[in-house]
Amino acid sequence: AFLIAFTSEFLPKELYKYQFDSELHGYTNFTLAWSPANSTAQPCRYKAFRGEDGHYTMFYWKLLAVRLAFVIVFEHVVFFISRMLDILIPDVRGSAAGEIKRSST
Q: Is residue 38's pLDDT more than 80?
A: no
Buried b (16+ CB within 10 A) or exposed e, 26-60: eeeebbebeeeeeeeeeeeeeeebbeeeeeeeebb
What's the whole-number mean pLDDT along residues 31-45?
Answer: 82
Which amino acid makes up residue 2? F
Q: Chain-wide mean pLDDT for the chain?
A: 88
Query: Are the C-beta atoms of residues 35 and 45 closer than 8 Å to each other?
Result: yes
> Measuring CA to CA, which residue among 61, 64, 42 is closest to residue 51?
61
pLDDT tens readout for residues 57-90: 999 999 999 999 999 999 999 999 999 999 998 7
What is the average per-residue pLDDT within 29-47? 84
For the stretch 3-24, pLDDT in tens is: 999 999 999 999 999 999 989 9
* C-alpha to C-alpha distance for 68 and 85, rounded to whole angstroms: 26
